[in-house]
Structure 1
Amino acid sequence: MSSPVRMPKPTCLIQNHRGRLSTCPEALGVLQRIRQPVVVVSIVGLYRTGKSYLMNRLAGKRTGFSLGSTVQANTKGIWMWCVPYPDRKDQTLVLLDTEGLGDAEKGDTQNDTWIFALAVLLSSTLVYNSMGTIDQNAMDQLHYVTELTERIKAKASPGGGAGGSLEDSSEYLRFFPSFAWTLRDFTLQLELNGKPITEDEYLENALKLKKGDTPDVRLFNLPRKCIRFFFPTRKCFIFDRPTSRKNLHRLEQMEESELEPDFVEQANQFYNYIFWTSKEKTLPGGHVVTGHLLAKLVETYVETISSGKVPCMESAVLALAEMENAAAVEEAVACYGKLMGQRLSLPTESVPELLGIHAKCEKEALQVFMARAFKDDEQRFQIKFMKTLDDRKEEYCRRNEQESIKRCQALLATLCVELEEKVHSGVYSRPNGHQQFVDDLKAVEERYRREPKKGVMAEEALKQFLEGKEAVGRAILQSDTALTEKEKQMEEARAQVEAAQREQEIQRQRQTELEQKMQDRERSYEENVQQLMAKMEQDREQLLEEQKKMMDSRLAEQEALLNEGFQKEARQMREEVQRLREESDRVKKPSFLERALGGLVTFGTLILPGIAGKAVGVVTNLFRRL
């Protein structure tokens, strides 16, 4: 895991130039270098409400994001600051400070809505910052939340049409962040019906719906429904004014001891909550987002918005999975190559020795692939990984044979120097010379066999060597006057029998090696299935946990709506709970995993050589074992 990126100051992530949004390469480059999980905290709200001050404090600094000291909005677009997460060394905190909403100088509320939508899409915790109390005016200013279903699609639709609806709110829950409302310069007493209440109770009371079906009532209820339906995890914080009005322009320079004590205590409560409760940014199914993945999400969403289309969260995740899975294959294959380079010394004494090293390296590389890949539903990328490693293994086997042949040929050339000299000097061209030649050749063979580390082609190299000497042997045999014609024929027959025996031995060796490779393919296939099933079981548990949280939030909302007397909305919640329960029941069935393994089973039975007919059995046995 890489160390977190340390940024000395914020940089612009998404530019807003004359109403057109675009990404900033420098900021994307920073994110792409972060391989750690990221916790993304975004802040949105009207301009000149002190958003940047809170974000600077979350970064542990007094300055950074521009505060400004005039009535003009300072932040344009979305600015980013990546800092090490306090007390979480394996995570990076990504702070996003957004352009102030409602700036009259822009004259285009469309742009504000997109800024708000992007903050929702990118963050794991969303902070909405406003001034004063939660009254109807504050709700009216939060109209951006009512437009989310028009600006964002949860699932891809066949026609590619825009948006969803409140009825689809469960689908949005899979993607949306937790929500915190910060109220600045709050002056009221926290009381309800003469009794003290908490900030959270104040927020929930402000989110209560009105009964009726008039246009005014629907307008009143819509933003409240959106917050309640889209953000089940809600929190409220109130802040006194930090200092006197005349000192606000130098807030950045002021020490904490110069600020109002109540404000300091309230701010610390806010910081502690954000630090303790904010979770890693995740995708549906629980896949953790790294800085690298966040950069891809930013690019995908901004490009979609710039093209005039409606961002679809499901499509963005699938596109991200496509890119990330391709990268996972490359990383895993590179890992395999690195490990083989470190552990494999060619030539090996046997094929099983090479296959054993390959198996260990493959297992570790497969773990690398599994850790990074996600939503590879048909196992297309895992199959590509398997094919690539099988090809690499075969290449190592070929290189192993080549290295062995070269070493054996060099050894034989050294061992037969004396024999070659005798042939050239005519030592064997005399009566009984053939027997001496045969004895010397046997001596070379015996010395050759005693030499270690010849590799897998030792017998093949010896066969080739002896075949090369057959013509010389026949010539010596025919010129040996001490032998009769019958003896010469018998000697030739003996030599042919020995050659045939050598060929048979090599064929047996090749058949054994083929069987060993076949067994290794079966082992590889089983390892892939086993690791995939373990990952899928983990994914299933995460999905069920995600479903449970959504059902719990919907049940709580259903109960609240019933208590408030809103039968129709409560019925809608009940229907959503039922859909979630049915989906959970389907996921719990064993057949869910079996169907999900379809791509790998098909690959095993139809494509991978030597596995035909065994793949289903391998999967079935693994299911029984698990």
Structure 2
Amino acid sequence: MASKLPMPAPVCLIENRPTEGLVVQLEALRVLSKITQPVVVVAITGPYRTGKSYIMNRLAGQRKGFSLGSSVQCHTKGIWMWCLPHPCQTGHTLVLLDTEGLGDVEKGDTKNDTWIFVLAMLLASTVIYNSKGTIDQAAMEQLHYVVKLSDHIKLKEAPQTSQDEVEDSEKFVSFFPTFIWVVRDFTLQLELDGKEISADDYLQNGLRLKAGNSPEVQHYNQTRECIRRYFPERKCFVFDQPAHKRDLVHLEELQDDKIDPEFQQQLEKFCSYVWKNSPLKTIPGGYVITGNLLGRLAETYVGTIRRGAVPCLESTVLTLAETVNVAAVEEAVALYRDLMEQRVKLPTETVRELLELHKQCEQEMLELFMARAFKEDITTSQMELVRQVEAIKEKFCADNDQASRDKCEAALRDLSQAMKRRINNGTYSMSGGYQLFREDQKELVEKYQELPGKGVMADAVLHEFLESKKSLAKSILSTDLALTEKDKELKRKQEQQERAERESKVQKKKEAEEKQKEQDRSRSSKAHIALLRKKLEEHCEQKQMEYKRMIEHKLKEVDALLRDGSHDKASRLKNVAKKLEKESSDIKDKIMNMVRIAAPILFTAACVAVRMKVI
């Protein structure tokens, strides 16, 4: 069965090398680069030798995959990855991350453990913390890495500048993964004060704080406070021991009849919950992450850690935005070009017809771009999009002119063959020849004008053709003995008037077409601004939803702290909620100001593209 999977076995995503530290693996990046679907990323972390890999194999729907160790040594090194079709969400990919066990006595590197834990938090949309026994103070001591998160992750590059500004760690809740605590080999009864409780109640009780400010109380509360602060969505599962101790070394090979039935039920319930409830991986701003972007996230975070710096979400989003927006421009331009090539049949009868097709293709292209692009630095990307699309449109206009010209010139060559023979025969070089020439020319023009599909250059090419015959007409007129000098002068004036009328007609048509193009650029600019405004309004709503969730979580925690008797902590957190409300109210003005700035810039970009004629 495993061989039929798209990715039959896990690969190492981030290797933990003894001398070099953390290194992202190219093979894993190649796998992720091919995944364009949104991803649900489930990572497992926890003390070494607690059976994390077995849990992840079962989440993959397999018995084998992530390597299981059977000794007291830590088996998994670094972070391993398995990408699978999501079992519950069509069109999504489930990415499982099995992380190196924490607290390996042989490794003795707590700094390395912290970074493994940090990467799990940054890459996952659901984090499973796997431990054994009970949720007690000893278990909290093992989870001390959560306390260090505020020192190893930052939201913004610039340091805090105002007392009214909310600390980064208070906003971790807006992007941290959902948290599931799995307690293995659980032997207690789920009871509290003589009443049966759920596993979630058991976790909640284990996270209760002690009142007081003594160093001992602060130490007791520290990990619990961080879990409560960072993870608003918490879930707990308890598992019995899966099999008899002698069989545990071969757990992945055991048939179902050898595995404890209670454990099997617990495992099925757990897997079902994770599959159905784990959210899509997103980053601040609500951007949904694909497999390709997950690989870039891993590269960015590990690269930052290797440089000795702290991963910054703001910088990471900007880095991703650069990549995503460049790709969005390329994809949008390619779509526009393809649509125009499919729909535009050269030559079009009018410029308006071509511009109407351009409008339709541009609208579809813009919708694609706005769906793909990040808000960050979107105006710069949109300017580039405008320049490229305007240049392509101008190229279509030029090709349209040329196709029309070629067709019209070919038509006039065919229609003028009879006149050409008469010129060669000297038919017009006799008395009355001028009148005959004029009649033939008039007939040619009438036939030409009746021809369909000549395109936008019909009048201009006809005018050029008639101008090319001006010397010939003048010569015929001067040699026509049937006409007096007075008649010839009248004919010359008549020709001049007709020529002036033709020139005026061609010029007015050209000016009308330029006006249409200018109006189209203005329309296009308004369309860009309208969709940009919509994009930013949606982003604003997303940000305000993030703030709303943060505020709701803070206020919910205030109530919990008051119940625990921690009035000082509750007061401080209530103040944080007020600051978040103020930040939320300022967001809309900041984001909408981008639209006001962008409007003239985008129109200028279109005009510059026309002047430069960049193709």
- Give the TM-score range, shorter chain: over 0.9
**Cross-structure match for 1:315:** 315
Amino acid at match of 1:73: C
**Cross-structure match for 1:291:** 291
Q: Which moved more, 1:66-75 or 1:115-124?
A: 66-75
* Cα distance change, pair 396–605 in 1 and its aligned pair in 2 (3 A): closer
Alpha-carbon separation, structure 1, partners of 2:156 and 2:92: 29
**Cross-structure match for 1:619:** none
Amino acid at match of 2:595: L
1:484-532 per-residue CA deviation (whole Å, 9 max, x = no partner) reads 2222222222111111110000011011111211221222122222222
Equivalent position SS for 1:547: helix
Q: Give the superposition deviation at 1:191.
A: 2.1
* Cα distance change, pair 81–536 in 1 and its aligned pair in 2 (3 A): same
Q: Establish whether residue 247 from structure 1 lines up as the match of residue 247 from structure 2.
A: yes
Alpha-carbon separation, structure 2, partners of 1:469 and 1:376: 61
**Cross-structure match for 1:35:** 36
Question: Where in structure 2 are the equivalents of 1:533-552 lying within 5 Å?
Answer: 533-552=533-552
Q: Which moved more, 1:592-601 or 1:508-517?
A: 592-601
Q: TM-score, normalised by structure 1?
A: 0.92
Q: Establish whether residue 565 from structure 1 lines up as the match of residue 565 from structure 2.
A: yes
**Cross-structure match for 1:44:** 45
Question: Where in structure 2 are the equivalents of 1:60-459 lying within 5 Å?
Answer: 60-158=61-159, 168-376=168-376, 379-459=379-459
Identity of counterpart residues, as a percentage?
Answer: 49
Q: Give the superposition deviation at 1:173.
A: 1.4
1:456-488 per-residue CA deviation (whole Å, 9 max, x = no partner) reads 001111111111111111111122222222222
**Cross-structure match for 2:611:** none
Say whether the 8 Å CA contact 1:175–1:313 is kept in structure 2: no
Alpha-carbon separation, structure 2, partners of 1:586 and 1:303: 33
Question: Where in structure 2 are the equivalents of 1:557-596 lying within 5 Å?
Answer: 557-587=557-587, 591=589, 594-596=592-594
Which 4+ stretches in 1 moved above 4 angstroms? 604-610
Q: Which moved more, 1:344-353 or 1:320-329?
A: 320-329
Amino acid at match of 1:297: L
Q: Give the superposition deviation at 1:14.
A: 0.9
Q: Give the superposition deviation at 1:223.
A: 1.1
Alpha-carbon separation, structure 1, partners of 2:105 and 2:292: 36
Q: Which moved more, 1:254-263 or 1:303-312?
A: 254-263
Gaps of 5+ in 1: 611-626
Say whether the 8 Å CA contact 2:15–2:77 is kept in structure 1: yes
Q: Give the superposition deviation at 1:214.
A: 3.4
Equivalent position SS for 1:374: coil
Say whether the 8 Å CA contact 2:533–2:592 is kept in structure 1: no
Q: How many residues align?
A: 601
Q: Give the superposition deviation at 1:352.
A: 0.7
Alpha-carbon separation, structure 1, partners of 2:67 and 2:192: 37
Amino acid at match of 1:78: I
Gaps of 5+ in 2: 609-615
1:266-285 per-residue CA deviation (whole Å, 9 max, x = no partner) reads 11121121112111111222
1:285-343 per-residue CA deviation (whole Å, 9 max, x = no partner) reads 22211112111111111111111111111211121112211111111111100111111
Alpha-carbon separation, structure 2, partners of 1:529 and 1:350: 27
* Cα distance change, pair 167–534 in 1 and its aligned pair in 2 (3 A): closer
Alpha-carbon separation, structure 1, partners of 2:598 and 2:110: 50
Q: Give the superposition deviation at 1:175.
A: 1.9
Say whether the 8 Å CA contact 1:32–1:295 is kept in structure 2: yes
Say whether the 8 Å CA contact 1:293–1:320 is kept in structure 2: yes
Alpha-carbon separation, structure 2, partners of 1:179 and 1:191: 23
1:137-171 per-residue CA deviation (whole Å, 9 max, x = no partner) reads 211111111111111112212599xxxx9954332
Q: Establish whether residue 554 from structure 1 lines up as the match of residue 559 from structure 2.
A: no
Q: Give the superposition deviation at 1:193.
A: 2.6
Say whether the 8 Å CA contact 2:383–2:605 is kept in structure 1: no
Q: Give the superposition deviation at 1:20.
A: 1.1
Alpha-carbon separation, structure 2, partners of 1:166 and 1:16: 35
**Cross-structure match for 2:612:** none
Say whether the 8 Å CA contact 2:160–2:167 is kept in structure 1: no
Alpha-carbon separation, structure 2, partners of 1:119 and 1:262: 30
Say whether the 8 Å CA contact 2:536–2:592 is kept in structure 1: no
Report 1 or 2 for greater relative contact order, CA contacts < 8 Å, sequence distance ≥ 6. Answer: 2
Q: Give the superposition deviation at 1:592.
A: 5.4
Say whether the 8 Å CA contact 2:44–2:98 is kept in structure 1: yes
Amino acid at match of 1:515: K
Equivalent position SS for 1:39: strand
**Cross-structure match for 1:614:** none
Amino acid at match of 1:179: F
Say whether the 8 Å CA contact 1:332–1:366 is kept in structure 2: yes
Say whether the 8 Å CA contact 2:172–2:230 is kept in structure 1: yes
Q: Which moved more, 1:297-306 or 1:596-605?
A: 596-605
Alpha-carbon separation, structure 2, partners of 1:167 and 1:595: 25
Q: Which moved more, 1:519-528 or 1:113-122?
A: 519-528
